[in-house]
């Protein structure tokens, strides 16, 4: 009976000892977590990127109802147009275009004016008008004179606008979390690390904000490039049947072209010819110098000619028949 009663007591004592050890371990873990606040802050800073990159993460943390209902998308379109109009007075038409743009709530951008040899004026101006007044302003500018050319373009950038807005929301939440971690950090090394993370994420946020502002400007204001001219550009009329003057002109052009190519060829060969002439001149001087140093050879006496032969002896004459000897 005593053995049976001792076993429950031992089991109860072991259970109390295990509970005490568990409570001590929890208190030690809390102390170690309070001492290593910087490492926990770094882990939370690394996890903030994953939370920000998760689809709908920021919206889910803000509220459940807004995350479940998809927002209604608004189309964001960049509109541009180019007009070339022939008018009687460029200066007057330019003033009217400025007035039309300003009345529509826009402004005048770049402007350039030039004149040709005949005194005709040409003006090119860039106008920025609200998208709501784009069609009205375009129609009024076309009616300022004779329309020579018109091109228009519409680019849908809704996806880019939505993407930038989502990234800005996530980046702002990430910056806020880093600031919260900095407020709870106690170690100097953790503060320095979190400051570096904060500066990097703030720079990324500013870049996203600049891109958002650029998209907003391009989608809210349309761009119209207006060219005004007093005289259209005339293209030369080509005659299919050439005459004598055309033949003479073509022949003279061909002759001048041939002379030009000959002059180019001579100019190209001239350096090589000059170098070759210099080499030949030096070679001749060296050869002459060597020939002057050689000893002169004495001429051998001329060979003796044949000895003179004695004249032949006279032949005796025969006495004539019947004659007397002298």
Instruction: Tell me the pLDDT tens digit for each residue of 79-132.
Output: 999 999 998 888 888 899 999 999 999 998 888 888 877 777 889 999 999 999
Domain membership of residue 165 (yes or no) is yes
- pTM to 2 decimals? 0.48
H helix or E strand, kind and range, residue 233: none
Higher pLDDT, 88 or 31: 88
Inside any domain, residue 300 = no
The Cα–Cα gap between 32 and 257 comes to 92
pLDDT of residue 187: 86
Enclosing H/E stretch for 293: helix 244-293
pLDDT score at 121: 83
Give the residue, 311 or 288, on which the prediction is more confident: 288
Phi, psi (5° rounding) for residue 221? -120, 125
Q: Does residue 318 fall inside a structural domain?
A: no
Q: Lowest-pLDDT range, 186-195, 215-224, 241-250, 273-282?
A: 241-250
In a domain, 315, yes or no: no
Q: Which range marks the domain in which residue 187 is found?
A: 77-233
DSSP annotation of 185 reads -
Q: What is residue 308's predicted lDDT score, i.e. its pLDDT? A: 57
Please tell me the total count of domains within the chain: 1
Instruction: Please list, in sequence order, all residues whose beta carbon lies within 8 angstroms of the beta carbon of residue 135, skipping any fewer than 6 positions away.
Output: none
Q: How confident is the model at residue 27 (pLDDT cuts 50, 70, 90)?
A: very low
Mean pLDDT, rounded, for 49-73: 50
Look at residue 298 and tell me if it is in a domain. no
Average pLDDT of the chain?
74
Beta bridge partners of 156: 77
Distances (CA, A) of 57 to 13, 61, 139: 49, 6, 47
> CB–CB of 100/140 below 8 Å?
yes
User: Is 44 within the bounds of a domain?
Assistant: no
Q: Is residue 146 part of a domain?
A: yes
Sheet strands (E) in 185-302: 221-229
- The answer as to whether 60 is a domain residue is no
pLDDT band of 164, cuts 50, 70, 90: very high
Position 222 confidence tier, pLDDT thresholds 50, 70, 90: very high
171 or 42: which leads in pLDDT: 171
Identify the pLDDT of residue 313: 57
């Amino acid at each position: 009976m005593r053995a049976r009663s001792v076993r429950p007591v031992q089991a109860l004592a072991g259970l109390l000892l295990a509970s005490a050890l568990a409570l001590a371990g929890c208190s030690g873990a809390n102390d170690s977590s309070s001492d290593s606040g910087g490492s926990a802050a770094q882990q939370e800073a690394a996890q903030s990127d994953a939370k920000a990159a998760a689809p709908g993460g920021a919206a889910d943390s803000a509220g459940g109802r807004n995350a479940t209902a998809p927002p209604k998308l608004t189309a964001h379109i960049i509109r541009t147009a180019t007009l070339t109009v022939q008018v009687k007075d460029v200066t007057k038409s330019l003033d009217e275009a400025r007035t039309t743009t300003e009345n529509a709530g826009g402004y005048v951008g770049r402007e350039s004016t030039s004149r040709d040899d005949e005194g005709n004026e040409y003006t090119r101006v860039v106008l920025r008008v609200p998208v709501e007044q784009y069609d009205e302003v375009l129609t009024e500018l076309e009616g300022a004179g004779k329309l020579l050319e018109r091109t228009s373009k519409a680019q849908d950038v809704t996806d880019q606008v939505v993407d930038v807005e989502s990234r800005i929301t996530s980046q702002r939440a990430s910056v806020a979390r880093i600031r919260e971690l900095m407020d709870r950090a106690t170690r100097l090394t953790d503060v320095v690390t979190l400051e570096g993370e904060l500066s990097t994420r703030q720079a990324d946020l500013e870049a996203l904000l600049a891109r958002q502002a650029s998209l907003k400007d391009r989608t809210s204001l349309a761009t119209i490039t207006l060219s005004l001219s007093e005289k259209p550009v005339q293209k030369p009329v080509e005659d299919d049947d050439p005459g004598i003057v055309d033949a003479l002109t073509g022949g003279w052009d061909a002759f001048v072209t041939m002379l030009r190519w000959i002059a180019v060829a001579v100019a190209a060969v001239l350096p090589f010819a000059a170098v070759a002439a210099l080499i030949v001149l030096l070679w001749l001087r060296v050869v002459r110098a060597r020939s002057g140093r050689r000893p002169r050879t004495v001429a051998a006496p001329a060979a003796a000619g044949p000895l003179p032969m004695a004249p032949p002896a006279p032949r005796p004459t025969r006495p004539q028949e019947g004659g007397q000897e002298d």
